[in-house]
């Protein structure tokens, strides 16, 4: 392909602008617990398995290869809608534009410390919006209860001396009324927690799971390091394994912040990146 001199100049300037914009003040935060023998599962799942197949020195190189086996819903992971709702999206059917969103961190650490069975309320959402502005469309809304600091101590995470018995679990989650309110009024892409379940530990019917599944909204569980990111001003990504026919999967969840990303209060009026790219391509072919 031969470009005119004007097109070459346009492309060069675009590359410079993008490199400056994406490189200036960019920060990436890992929100994922590592997978390994200490990975936490809901009772009833098989144990994590990691087998070394080869670790060997050859004449001109070193070679390693391993085999691992893990349940879908293990450690930091994503719940696909099909997990709790028949015929809704499975893991490989989730579109990429629904696996990220402006980060909204709802801090209930103090409340969860006083009441381990705490459930996030609509008032918690309203308090967040009073400080940071309206939750933008397509957000990734995550509860920070401080529980991520307990991981991977199984008894502390499930808050039970019998962590194989779900009836004894006590940890925070989302109240079903709050979940339904968010789905109806704020259209989130993702809703998550730093605990083992989007429903609180004593739930027997898992209504938040059902609401999210019925509306084709993935849930995030065992999200890590939430104290490292601000309540607003990041974009959160859930890079889940594209598992065919899956009901979920381990995910590398991370947050990105920097001048390239608008705050939640200004996000509504910010042009989406794809719109900017389309304009750039359009202008390119006019030259």
Judged by phi (left if over 0) then psi (alpha if -120 to 50, else beta), residue 87 lies in: left
pLDDT band at 261 (very low <50, low <70, confident <90, very high): low
Q: Quick one: average pLDDT of 261-287? A: 47
pLDDT, tens only, 179-206: 999 999 999 999 999 999 999 999 999 9
Judged by phi (left if over 0) then psi (alpha if -120 to 50, else beta), residue 228 lies in: alpha
Q: Quick one: average pLDDT of 53-79? A: 98
Note whether 154 and 37 are within 8 A (CB): no
The β-bridge relationship of strands 190-193 and 219-221 is parallel
> How does DSSP classify residue 189?
S
pLDDT, tens only, 217-258: 999 999 999 999 999 999 999 999 999 999 999 999 999 998
Q: How much of the chain, in percent, has pLDDT values that exceed 70?
A: 82
Which one, of 32, 90, 114, lies nearest residue 243 by Cα?
90
For residue 179, the model assigns a pLDDT of: 98
Place of tokens 């914009």: 21
**The pLDDT of residue 279 is above 60:** no
Please give the model's pTM, rounded to 2 decimal places: 0.85
């Amino acid at each position: 392909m031969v470009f005119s001199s004007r097109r070459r100049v346009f492309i060069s300037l675009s590359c410079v602008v993008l490199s400056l914009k994406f490189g200036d003040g960019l920060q990436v935060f890992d929100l994922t617990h590592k997978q390994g023998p200490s990975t936490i599962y809901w009772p009833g799942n098989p144990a994590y398995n990691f087998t070394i197949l080869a670790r060997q020195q050859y004449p001109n190189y070193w070679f390693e290869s391993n085999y691992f086996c893990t349940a879908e819903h293990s450690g930091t992971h994503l719940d696909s809608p099909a997990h709790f709702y028949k015929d809704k999206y499975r893991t490989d059917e989730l579109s990429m534009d629904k696996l990220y969103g402006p980060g909204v961190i709802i801090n209930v650490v103090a409340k969860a410390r006083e009441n381990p069975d705490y459930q996030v309320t609509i008032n918690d959402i309203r308090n967040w919006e009073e400080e940071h502005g309206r939750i933008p469309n397509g957000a990734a809304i995550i509860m920070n209860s401080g529980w991520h600091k307990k991981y991977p101590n199984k008894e502390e995470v499930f808050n039970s001396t019998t962590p194989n018995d779900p009836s004894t679990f006590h940890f925070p989650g989302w109240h079903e009324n709050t979940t339904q309110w968010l789905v109806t009024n704020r259209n989130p892409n993702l809703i998550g927690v730093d605990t083992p379940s989007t429903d609180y530990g004593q739930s027997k019917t898992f209504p938040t799971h059902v609401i999210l599944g019925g509306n084709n909204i993935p849930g995030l569980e065992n999200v890590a390091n939430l104290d490292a990111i601000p309540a607003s001003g990041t974009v959160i990504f859930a890079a889940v394994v594209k598992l065919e026919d899956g009901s979920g999967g381990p995910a590398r969840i991370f947050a990105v912040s920097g001048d390239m990303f608008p705050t939640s209060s200004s996000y509504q009026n910010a042009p989406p990146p794809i719109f900017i790219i389309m304009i750039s391509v359009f202008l390119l072919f006019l030259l």
